[in-house]
Structure 1
Amino acid sequence: MFERARRLFVSLLIAGATTLAPVVTTTAQARVPYLQTPANQPKYAALVVDAKTGEVLYAKRADSPRYPASLTKVMTLYLAFEALQAGRLHPNDLVPISPHAAAQAPSKLGLRPGDSLTVDQAMQALAVKSANDIAVALGEKLGGTEARFAAMMTLRAQELGMRNTRFVNASGLPDSRQISTARDIAILSRAVMRDYPQYYDLFSQRSFTFRGQTMRNHNGLLGRMDGVDGLKTGFTNASGFNIAVSAVRGNRRLITVVLGAPSTAIRNNNAEDLILTGFDVMARRERGEKITVAQNLFEPTPSGPVVRGSTEQGDGDQDGLKIVLASAPPPAAASRTKIVESSKTSLGKGKWVVQVGAFKSKSDAKEQITFVTKRFSKHFRVKDGQVSGKSGSYRARFSGYSEVSAKNACQALKAKRLACMVVKPA
């Protein structure tokens, strides 16, 4: 508790200094304590995102390939949620344990081949215990084999806009082919909240009791930090210590991803610092200040000391950019969906459509149309934008394209790491 208070005091001191003092000072004045910031660790990557708008508030090596470890299980659960909602799976269905599932390395429940548990129990075992054997068993239940299920995971990742992710197993156990990025994990975390809010509280469950044994959640920020309500941790020797965590304060929600930290404590402390600073930055922006998370943090330079005014985010110009979720349904389903077009919309040279995001609220979809037309005015016009869909699933779309112009427009967004999808004429 004392350490947490000390770090928060320093963060507030930094925020005040940023406002009152010049950005550049002498080296002697600029040095401050190195508060276990893992930014110089070679495996480290991080991202802080406004969960509502998708705006990237902070990025450090956000697109560098990393091993996701047990963060993989968020996608395994995402596909389980999808099957539940579609009626292909039910909470009381039994999940059998195959010899392959039983042979997985810990962390595991340790069930023997031929044993079983319910889907509801399996999902709790993944979210709380991070059980590798149950992840494989659930994958086999959904995909027939783990390999086929991993292909399903990769396909869904691509459809969500996770362009640098590949899955080869359901658990996150070590495999050099299984990679992701901090940005892609943030996209996945945001997708879970957007698409299956009815199941999201599973990630905030503090413990899970199975056959008389109670297991505690590995996410040490649950219950320790106000507002934290998910998602998942992970660790292998190759990946380092990972976490995808979300926190809410008032009407603000942040998603923070930290990958490759050297220990559990440093990972948790760094994630907590990023969350606290992110909320502070959001509040100050609402008061009219122009500031980024990087400007509000003291980060180590390559030589080690922490120097004021070092604002490199690690991935180029991130300020104002967004992570945008592609449509949740597969492209084939999306193409069969009737596009609701305003009578004022100009079809121009063609009937191709460009989709630039899918959102829970109509206001967020409209905001995305405004953002895209301002930032990419060469390819998008306000009069060609419209919101289609129904309650809980609104698509931000632009119409009136030829095939070539639609693909060029999408390419412009993807060049800035924004999700985009071209929809053929019906």
Structure 2
Amino acid sequence: MMRSVLRRLQPSRALPVALVATAFAVALTEPADARRRGHHRPAGGYNPPYAAMVVDVKSGRTLHAVNEDALRHPASITKVMTLYMLFEQMERGRFALDSELTVSAYAAAQSPSKLGLRPGSTIEVEDAIKALVTKSANDVACAIGENIGGSESRFAEMMTRKARSLGMSRTNFANASGLPDADQVTTARDLTILARAIQDRFPRYYRYFQTRSFAFRGRTIGNHNRLLGAVQGVDGIKTGYTRDSGFNLMTAARLDDRQIVAIVLGGKSGASRDRIMADLVRSTLPRAYAGNRQTPAVVEVAERARPAVVADAASRTRTQVASADADEVETTASTAISEPLDIMPSRTTTPGSAGMRRPASPLPSSAQAYAPAAIQPSFPAGGKSEARLASVDAPSRVEAPVRSVATPRITPTAWVIQLGAMDDEDKAKSMLAEARARAGGMLGKAAPYTVKVEHGGATLYRARFSGFSEQDDAQDACKALKRSGFSCFATRS
């Protein structure tokens, strides 16, 4: 925010210093989540850059998309990734719901919206979760980042690496809260991946996004998300606002075995954003697939691993993590992997007053999360508007087959469960051992094994359980794994 403000407020020598200072102070008071503004539209013809996307969770099909690959500021939707990181640490046993997080002076000094915690004080993890979900408290988000990463900047780097491992190839985080920063960018498409991933990975903790209000030290704090309880099917998850981003909303909804995730970025006001989202949910949820899930859960891939882009008859292309099976999508003789030639945009785009930069310090090419070529625009030389940049033709693609080699230790049964893919076989075996220990009896007779996948010089090991003759048995075991905090899906062997 400071860099953005300074760019806008370069004073001439004739401009009074007091006037610049006043304007600078006013700019810094803009909250990351506009509680004080309510649902009113900011004055002055406010028109932030817009983007939106709706994805059918079960089929992976895109139901609605506008500027879905254009760079945007996430604002407080950032906190969904902050909570993803916290949930992961809780799953690993580092924190419990009653663990105390220490609040530094730096965290306490964050701009509103915040709880107003004092330097040196503590807050329980469960209260911290609820504070992010409801009040979108920036001081708490910063404290979470510092307690996990040691510093907020290091935590932001961890968040960016996590985004890459999930397949969010155009997202870069600079802080834990979503407070204004020119380097904090994402896309509507990337956020649909995050919306799916946090539900798939942490079903035990996702329920916190349904919190309407919570009591904290004598105060009752309500949720900024006004669609909860107002639109049928909506069960979360997060709002956001900065002046440069506009009014943002990430939503998940399910009804009658149908499930979607939806993103709206750049609403002109909270009310207009909510109307847009409500209309999208009501129009797309009835069109979502109601049968058994066709797409695997979003799982993390080790940094050196590459998600595969698999041809999909329903939606032309779909980003499949490397753990996806070739026989789970409609293909011909072999599955084709489409690799975009341009992994990251080559130029800076500047929608909004602060400008947007391409994600800083991208991972090496071997660690890049591959995405469909249609969502990796090759930015042309010369200045063009964001609207034109969003419509640039996708780069050409190359195709290469993927080769799977099953380890000959067991003969897989008709149905198997897959947990994920790792860049090291020992890691895959460790994942299987931990899953069996946590899931208990449901996996008592299941046989763990790995499948080696080679593609483009990268080697992955899929972690699987065999021992299921019927689809229902495999799905029941997978549900037990999800209750234990693991992502998984059942598939034919």
Read off the aligned partner of 2:302 and give its amino acid letter.
P
Q: Secondary structure at the match of 1:271?
A: helix
Offset from partner CA, 1:279-331 (integer Å, 9 cap, x none): 23337x99xxxxxxxxxxxxxxxxxxxxxxxxxxxxxxxxxxx9987642534
- Give the C-alpha shift of residue 121 in structure 1: 0.8
Mapped pair 1:79 → 2:85:
yes
Equivalences for residues 403-418 of structure 1 within 5 A: 403=456
Match of 1:183 among 172, 189, 196: 189
Q: Secondary structure at the match of 1:270?
A: helix
* TM-score, normalised via structure 2 length: 0.56
Match of 2:300 among 316, 319, 328: 328
1:400 to 1:174, Cα distance in 2 relative to 1, 3 A = closer
- CA distance in 1 between counterparts of 2:132 and 2:176 reads 10
Query: Is the contact made by 2:197 and 2:298 (CA closer than 8 Å) also made in structure 1?
Result: no
Equivalences for residues 203-352 of structure 1 within 5 A: 203-282=209-288, 327-328=299-300, 330-331=302-303
- Give the C-alpha shift of residue 368 in structure 1: 3.7
1:373 to 1:228, Cα distance in 2 relative to 1, 3 A = farther
Offset from partner CA, 1:154-193 (integer Å, 9 cap, x none): 0000110001100010000001110011011110110001
Q: Secondary structure at the match of 1:259?
A: strand
Query: Is the contact made by 1:55 and 1:323 (CA closer than 8 Å) also made in structure 2?
Result: no
- CA distance in 2 between counterparts of 1:402 and 1:375 reads 12
Equivalent in the alignment of 2:321:
357
Query: Is the contact made by 2:402 and 2:454 (CA closer than 8 Å) also made in structure 1?
Result: no
- Give the C-alpha shift of residue 370 in structure 1: 3.8
- CA distance in 2 between counterparts of 1:251 and 1:101 reads 42
1:382 to 1:373, Cα distance in 2 relative to 1, 3 A = farther
1:393 to 1:53, Cα distance in 2 relative to 1, 3 A = farther
Match of 2:419 among 368, 383, 393: 393
Offset from partner CA, 1:1-58 (integer Å, 9 cap, x none): xxxxxxxxxxxxxxxxxxxxxxxxxxxxxxxxxxx9xxx9651100000112322121
- Give the C-alpha shift of residue 400 in structure 1: 6.5
- CA distance in 1 between counterparts of 2:136 and 2:248 reads 13
Equivalent in the alignment of 2:202:
196
Query: Is the contact made by 2:326 and 2:335 (CA closer than 8 Å) also made in structure 1?
Result: no
- CA distance in 1 between counterparts of 2:62 and 2:232 reads 22
Match of 1:114 among 105, 120, 138: 120
Between the aligned residues of both structures, percent identity stands at: 41
- CA distance in 1 between counterparts of 2:114 and 2:232 reads 29
Mapped pair 1:376 → 2:402:
no
- CA distance in 1 between counterparts of 2:135 and 2:416 reads 37
- CA distance in 1 between counterparts of 2:120 and 2:195 reads 33
1:145 to 1:406, Cα distance in 2 relative to 1, 3 A = closer
Query: Is the contact made by 1:369 and 1:385 (CA closer than 8 Å) also made in structure 2?
Result: no
1:256 to 1:370, Cα distance in 2 relative to 1, 3 A = same
Read off the aligned partner of 1:240 and give its amino acid letter.
G
Read off the aligned partner of 2:71 and give its amino acid letter.
P
Query: Is the contact made by 1:54 and 1:324 (CA closer than 8 Å) also made in structure 2?
Result: no
Query: Is the contact made by 2:301 and 2:322 (CA closer than 8 Å) also made in structure 1?
Result: no
1:99 to 1:48, Cα distance in 2 relative to 1, 3 A = same
Query: Is the contact made by 1:67 and 1:179 (CA closer than 8 Å) also made in structure 2?
Result: yes
- Range 391-400 or range 184-193, more displaced: 391-400
Instruction: Identify the structure with bigger relative contact order (alpha carbons < 8 Å, sequence gap 6+).
Output: 1
Read off the aligned partner of 1:357 and give its amino acid letter.
V
- CA distance in 1 between counterparts of 2:326 and 2:70 reads 31
Q: Secondary structure at the match of 1:222?
A: coil
Query: Is the contact made by 2:254 and 2:285 (CA closer than 8 Å) also made in structure 1?
Result: no
Match of 2:56 among 35, 50, 59: 50
Mapped pair 1:93 → 2:88:
no
1:247 to 1:405, Cα distance in 2 relative to 1, 3 A = closer
Query: Is the contact made by 1:45 and 1:64 (CA closer than 8 Å) also made in structure 2?
Result: yes
Equivalences for residues 114-133 of structure 1 within 5 A: 114-133=120-139
Offset from partner CA, 1:82-107 (integer Å, 9 cap, x none): 00001111111111111100100110
- Give the C-alpha shift of residue 219 in structure 1: 0.6
Mapped pair 1:173 → 2:137:
no
- CA distance in 1 between counterparts of 2:302 and 2:272 reads 38
Equivalent in the alignment of 1:158:
164
- Give the C-alpha shift of residue 381 in structure 1: 7.1
- CA distance in 2 between counterparts of 1:369 and 1:400 reads 17
* TM-score, normalised via structure 1 length: 0.65
Structure 1 gaps of 5+ residues are 1-35, 287-321, 336-354, 408-426
1:159 to 1:369, Cα distance in 2 relative to 1, 3 A = same
Query: Is the contact made by 2:404 and 2:453 (CA closer than 8 Å) also made in structure 1?
Result: no
- Give the C-alpha shift of residue 369 in structure 1: 4.3
Query: Is the contact made by 2:73 and 2:186 (CA closer than 8 Å) also made in structure 1?
Result: yes
Query: Is the contact made by 1:380 and 1:398 (CA closer than 8 Å) also made in structure 2?
Result: no
Query: Is the contact made by 1:56 and 1:323 (CA closer than 8 Å) also made in structure 2?
Result: no
Read off the aligned partner of 2:336 and give its amino acid letter.
F
Equivalent in the alignment of 2:382:
none
Offset from partner CA, 1:241-284 (integer Å, 9 cap, x none): 0000011011110101000010111111111111111123337x
- CA distance in 2 between counterparts of 1:197 and 1:373 reads 36
Equivalent in the alignment of 1:69:
75
Query: Is the contact made by 2:167 and 2:321 (CA closer than 8 Å) also made in structure 1?
Result: no
Query: Is the contact made by 2:74 and 2:245 (CA closer than 8 Å) also made in structure 1?
Result: yes
Structure 2 gaps of 5+ residues are 1-40, 307-318, 338-398, 423-449, 461-493
Read off the aligned partner of 1:119 and give its amino acid letter.
V
- CA distance in 1 between counterparts of 2:101 and 2:458 reads 48
1:196 to 1:390, Cα distance in 2 relative to 1, 3 A = farther
